[in-house]
Amino acid sequence: MSSVGKRPTGQWRARYRDDAGHEHARHFARKVDAQRWLDETTASVVTGTYVDPKAGSVTFRDYAEQWRAVQVHRPSSQAHVETMLRRHVYPTLGDRKLSNDSAQRHSDAREAAEPRTLNGRCHSLHRVGCDALCGA
């Protein structure tokens, strides 16, 4: 359900509820802008391209730790992934919010790595990143 309504302040509020029942709202000076935002957001939900703005407030480290907790690995693989992330990925990307991620940062982090750790580090980063981007 979605709606656009005029507030006592004179601004227009566009709001909708997501699949989880949470309300999302934005305020606009013009009704046409509120309706446009609502239409674009609704279209992205219907087409499956919607990304919750709050989802990007999670840091890479937090997401990666949640990801690691649900992976099925042998104990030696678990230890290897944990070590690669802790020693090589978290110092560079751990505190970055997922919404602020960019290809340039990945490139900079890759250039800073020692060649012998690069393959394992990028493999761990790739596995976590794919799940983060795909929403798995």
Containing domain of residue 31, as a range? 2-50
For residues 89 and 112, state if they share a domain.
yes
What pLDDT, on a 0 to 100 scale, did the predictor assign at position 107? 43
The closest of 113, 106, 114 to 132, measured between CA atoms, is 106
The CB-based long-range contact list for 48-54 (8 Å cut-off, 24+ gap) reads 52/18, 53/99
pTM for this prediction: 0.45
Q: 101-110: per-residue pLDDT in tens?
A: 443 344 444 4
Q: How many domains does the chain have?
A: 2
**Torsional sign, CA 45, 49, 55, 57:** negative
What pLDDT, on a 0 to 100 scale, did the predictor assign at position 10? 94
For residues 116 and 64, state if they share a domain.
yes
For residues 78 and 96, state if they share a domain.
yes
CATH code where residue 84 lies:
1.10.150
Both structure tokens of 85: 């992330």
For residues 84 and 121, state if they share a domain.
yes
For residues 60 and 43, state if they share a domain.
no
What pLDDT, on a 0 to 100 scale, did the predictor assign at position 34? 95
pLDDT at 123 over 90: no
What pLDDT, on a 0 to 100 scale, did the predictor assign at position 101? 46
**Angle ∠(11,23,136) on CA atoms, nearest 5:** 130
Q: Are strands 23-28 and 2-6 parallel, antiparallel or unpaired?
A: unpaired
For residues 81 and 23, state if they share a domain.
no
